[in-house]
Amino acid sequence: MAEGGDAATATSAEPARFAAARGTLYVVATPLGNLRDLSLRALDVLGSADTIAAEDTRVTGVLLRHYGIATRPLSLHEHNEAARVERIVDELRQGRSVALVSDAGTPAISDPGARLVRAVREAGFPVVPIPGACAATAAVSAAGLTAEHWLFLGFLPAAAKARRELLASVASLAAALLVYEAPHRVRATVEELHAALGGERTLVVAREITKKFETISVTTLAEAAEWFAGDSNRERGEFVLLVDMAARRADASAESTIDARRLLAALIDELPPARAARVASAVTGLSRDALYAQAVELKGGAAKA
């Protein structure tokens, strides 16, 4: 079997197959739902790796059986990753090859794996990405965002205060915001996005990407609650929520963002956060809700100082 570099430059009609190299960790993207979304190179690696480290061995087992791969996966999830690192690094020292997979999509992106990757690099072994499916990039590609830049937030923090602080810190950025969410929390999260970012921003709801009931819908944060209430099926599945940049941000400069924050910083010395946000909104034309979130953050910082 040919090594990966040879496969990329093969000139024959039938591309050379790829073989997992000794003492190497492969970070392998697997399908989000549709099993046909596994790349040929990923299939080669999974078929030739000595060890397959999987977030959930039952989920990965379905994929492996579908493609006739007999290797029994080794569990590596958020609760045992620290303990598994030493074993996997030891396998690499013995010259074995290891493929890392998550339940769906690309490992270490809101999934386990980053700790293992760091440990393997620190131990001096190569880490090779095998790219493929990723819910974040799939959603962005089909969203039609106005923003040229987007910020991936993953799953928001579990604590309410931490969520509010995070959203306040990114509310004024000239970028789209991308959030992962589970069905039991999606409506509450959308309400928090509305409160922190204002109602006028476009919300793209990407649900069950690549699966049978995939939907990609567009609404606004102000209308999102009513949209979800219109059909209970809209709350089912796994979600990527994309909040586009505010309309005025399309041609706003970084300087105007700084000016708005400076204006708020000056106003909260004399006014309560709600009034400071109202005045700043009138002057800048920015969302009062977003400015209020920043004002609360600034007021809290001033109080601690």
Residues above pLDDT 70, as percent of the chain: 90
Mean pLDDT in residue range 236-261: 72
Q: pLDDT at residue 88 above 60? A: yes
Name the DSSP letter for residue 235.
G
Residue 301: pLDDT band (50, 70, 90) is: low
Rounded CA-CA distance 162/156 in Å is: 8
Mean pLDDT in residue range 222-230: 95
Reading phi first (left if > 0) and then psi (alpha if -120 to 50, else beta), residue 76 is in beta
Residue 49: pLDDT band (50, 70, 90) is: very high
Give residue 305's pLDDT: 45
User: Which pair of tokens denotes residue 218?
Assistant: 């567009």
Task: Give φ, ψ of 13 to 5 degrees.
Answer: -65, -35
Rounded CA-CA distance 19/125 in Å is: 17
Contact 85, 91 (CB under 8 A): no
Rounded CA-CA distance 128/41 in Å is: 12
Residue 92: pLDDT band (50, 70, 90) is: very high
Contact 26, 45 (CB under 8 A): yes
Q: pLDDT at residue 255 above 50? A: no
Say which amino acid occupies 189: T
Rounded CA-CA distance 54/200 in Å is: 41
- Cα-Cα-Cα-Cα dihedral of 119, 120, 123, 126, to 10°? -150
Least confident of 55-69, 106-120, 223-237, 239-253: 239-253
Residue 13: pLDDT band (50, 70, 90) is: low
Q: How do 98-101 and 25-28 pair as beta strands?
A: parallel
Name the DSSP letter for residue 30.
B
Mean pLDDT in residue range 143-169: 94
Contact 178, 140 (CB under 8 A): yes
Least confident of 106-115, 123-132, 262-271: 262-271
Q: The dihedral of CA 83, 89, 95, 99: what is its sign?
A: positive
